[in-house]
C-alpha cells in the first residue's frame, strides 16, 4: 500500500475541513415594486395590448400567484406592509401624509418615528450580514431609517423630500445606482429595493415606446399609460441582465408586485372616478405576485390561491435562514399545502391624510375580505364624514353601504349581492371582525 506523505495528508485534511466549514451562500434578495399598475395590465395576465416580455419571463420561470393582493390601495401604507410584513393597523402607517402641514419637517418626522417602531426586512437581513440599497419610492425619511445600508432617497423636506426625492430618478433617468450597488457588494449577500416611479404619473414615456401604442380609436392617455408599463418592463430586463452578466442570477431571489392598482380612464379622468387607487375594489387592491429563484423555486402558476404582500416577509426570510417574527400574520407562499388551506385574506382602506398617526381606527374608511370567491366590503360608519381624498367631497364609488360580490362570476364587481345573501354577509362579517374590529381597537 502506498502511503501519503505527511505534508500532503495535512494539506488534504485542511482543505476538506475548509469545505466542511464553508456555509452555503446566502441568497441575494431583490424586490421589484411597480407603482400604480393595474392587475390585468401584463402580457402574462392576458392583456391584448400591453407588452411586458421581461416580467412575463419572470412569471413563466417563477411561482406566479395571480390572485395576489395588497392589504391597502395607497402607496405609503402598502409599501410599509411590504417592508414589515404587517397589516397597516399593526405598523400604523395608514395614510400618505400626516394631518396639518405636510411640508413641515417636524410633522413628517413624527410619522417616520411611528414606522421605525416596526422591524423591517432590510433590518432583519442586515443583522445577518446583508448589505442593502433603496431606490425609487420611499416615504419613511432618510432611508437608513428603514434599515438600508445605502440609499438614493435623502428624505429632507427642505430639499423636496416626501416620497422618494432623488430615488425617483431610478428607471426613468438611470439604472446606474442599482448597478453600482450590485457591483460593489463584493461577494456579500445583498437586498435591493427597486421601486421605480413607473408606471406612475406623469405618464411621459419615451416617444419610441409611445409610438407602439398610438393608434386610431385608442385614447392618447391610455396609449401613454401602456407605454409607461413597457418602460417599466424594460428596466426589469436591464436589472436581470446585469445580475446575469455578473454571475449572480442563480443565487438571487426576485419578488415582483405592484404597490396598488390603477385604471387609466380616457381623457385622463380622475382618481375619484376610477374605483382603483384608494378603493377597496380589486382594481385597487389586486396585484399578481411573482417569486423567482432558480435554485429554490420551481416554475408554477397558481390561479386559485389567495396571496397577500404581507406574505412576502414570511416567505423570503426563511429562504435566508431567518425566522419570521411572531407578529407577522403571513404564510409561506412556497408551501403549496399551506396556500391551499388558506380560505380568506383581509385588508382595509384609510383616508389619504391621516387624522391620527397613532390610531388606525381614526383613519379607516373601509375593511374588506375575500373568502373563496366571495368578497365583502364594509364601511366604517364612525368615520363616515372623513374625506378619503382631501378637497374631494364627492367620490362616485363611495356608496356608504356594505357590499358583497362573487368574484368568480363578477370579477369587475358590478353586481352587489349583499341584499340577496344576508347570511353570507353576517358570516363574513364575523370573520372580518375577528381579523380586526376598529370599533374595539
Residue range 290-316: mean pLDDT, rounded: 98
Q: Per the omega criterion (within 30 degrees of 0), is the bond before 199 cis?
A: yes
Q: What is the pLDDT of residue 23?
A: 52
Residue 133 C-alpha from the chain's centroid: 16
Q: For the segment 43-59, what is each residue's pLDDT rounded down to a tens digit?
A: 999 999 999 999 999 99
* 209-48-376-352 Cα dihedral, nearest 10 degrees: 10
| Tens-place pLDDT, residues 333-357 | 999 999 999 999 999 999 999 999 9
User: Across residues 66-71, what is the average pLDDT?
Assistant: 98
CA pair distance 55, 53, nearest whole angstrom: 6
Matching residue, cell 407605454: 227
CA-nearest of 28, 54, 19 to 295 is 28
Query: Distance between CA atoms of 257 and 195, rounded to whole angstroms?
Result: 10
Q: How confident is the model at residue 16 (pLDDT cuts 50, 70, 90)?
A: very low
The pTM assigned to this predicted structure is 0.94
Question: d(Cα 137, Cα 162) in Å, to the nearest integer?
Answer: 9
CA dihedral for 277, 134, 198, 27, sign (positive or negative): negative
What is residue 91's three-state secondary structure?
A: helix
- Please write the tens of the pLDDT for every residue from 170-196: 999 999 999 999 999 988 999 999 999
DSSP string, 158-196: GGT-SS-GGGGGBTTTBSHHHHHHHHHTTTS-EEEEEE-
Banded pLDDT at 273 (limits 50, 70, 90):
confident
Res 9: pLDDT: 44
- In DSSP terms, 253 is beta-bridged to 29
Domains of the chain, earliest start first = 24-335 (3.40.720.10)
Contact assessment for residue 8 and residue 246, using Cβ atoms and an 8 Å cutoff: no
Average pLDDT over the chain, rounded to an integer: 93
Cell of 359: 390610531
Share of the chain residues as helix, strand and coil, in percent rounded to the nearest 5: 35, 15, 45
Question: What is the rounded CA–CA span in Å between residue 116 and residue 363?
Answer: 20
Amino acid at each position: 500500500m502506498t502511503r501519503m506523505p505527511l505534508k500532503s495528508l495535512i494539506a488534504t485534511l485542511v482543505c476538506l475541513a475548509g469545505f466542511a466549514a464553508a456555509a452555503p451562500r446566502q441568497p441575494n434578495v431583490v424586490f421589484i415594486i411597480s407603482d400604480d399598475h393595474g392587475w390585468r395590465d401584463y402580457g402574462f395576465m392576458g392583456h391584448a395590448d400591453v407588452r411586458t416580455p421581461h416580467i412575463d419571463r419572470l412569471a413563466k420561470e417563477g411561482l406566479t400567484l395571480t390572485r395576489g393582493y395588497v392589504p391597502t390601495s395607497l402607496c405609503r401604507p402598502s409599501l410599509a406592509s411590504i417592508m414589515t410584513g404587517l397589516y397597516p393597523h399593526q405598523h400604523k402607517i395608514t395614510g400618505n401624509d400626516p394631518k396639518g402641514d405636510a411640508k413641515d419637517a417636524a410633522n413628517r418626522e413624527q410619522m417616520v418615528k411611528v414606522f421605525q417602531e416596526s422591524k423591517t426586512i432590510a433590518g432583519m437581513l442586515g443583522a445577518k450580514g446583508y448589505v442593502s440599497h433603496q431606490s425609487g419610492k420611499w416615504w419613511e425619511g432618510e432611508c437608513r431609517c428603514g434599515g438600508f445600508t445605502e440609499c438614493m432617497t435623502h428624505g429632507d423636506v427642505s430639499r423636496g423630500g416626501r416620497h422618494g426625492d432623488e430615488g425617483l430618478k431610478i428607471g426613468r433617468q438611470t439604472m446606474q445606482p442599482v448597478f453600482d450597488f450590485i457591483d460593489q457588494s463584493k461577494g456579500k449577500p445583498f437586498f435591493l429595493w427597486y421601486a421605480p416611479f413607473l408606471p406612475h404619473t406623469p405618464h411621459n414615456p419615451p416617444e419610441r415606446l409611445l409610438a407602439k401604442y398610438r393608434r386610431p380609436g385608442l385614447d392618447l392617455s391610455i396609449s401613454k399609460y401602456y407605454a409607461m408599463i413597457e418602460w417599466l418592463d424594460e428596466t426589469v430586463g436591464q436589472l436581470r441582465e446585469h445580475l446575469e452578466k455578473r454571475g449572480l442570477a442563480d443565487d438571487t431571489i426576485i419578488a415582483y408586485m405592484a404597490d396598488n392598482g390603477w385604471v387609466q380612464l380616457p381623457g385622463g379622468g380622475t382618481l375619484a372616478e376610477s374605483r382603483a387607487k384608494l378603493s377597496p375594489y380589486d382594481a385597487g387592491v389586486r396585484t399578481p405576485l411573482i417569486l423567482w429563484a432558480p435554485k429554490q423555486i420551481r416554475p408554477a402558476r397558481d390561479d386559485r390561491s389567495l396571496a397577500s404582500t404581507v406574505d412576502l416577509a414570511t416567505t423570503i426570510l426563511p429562504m435566508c435562514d431567518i425566522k419570521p417574527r411572531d407578529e407577522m400574520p403571513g404564510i409561506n407562499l412556497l408551501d403549496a399545502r399551506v396556500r391551499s388551506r388558506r380560505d380568506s385574506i383581509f385588508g382595509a382602506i384609510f383616508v389619504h391624510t391621516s387624522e391620527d398617526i397613532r390610531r388606525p381606527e381614526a383613519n379607516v374608511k373601509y375593511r374588506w375580505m375575500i373568502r373563496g370567491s366571495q368578497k365583502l366590503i364594509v364601511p366604517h360608519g364612525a368615520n363616515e364624514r372623513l374625506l378619503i381624498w382631501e378637497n374631494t367631497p364627492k367620490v362616485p364609488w363611495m356608496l356608504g353601504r356594505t357590499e358583497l360580490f362573487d368574484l368568480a362570476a363578477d370579477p369587475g364587481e358590478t353586481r352587489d349581492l349583499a341584499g340577496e345573501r344576508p347570511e353570507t354577509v353576517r358570516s363574513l362579517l364575523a370573520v372580518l371582525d375577528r381579523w380586526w374590529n376598529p370599533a374595539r381597537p
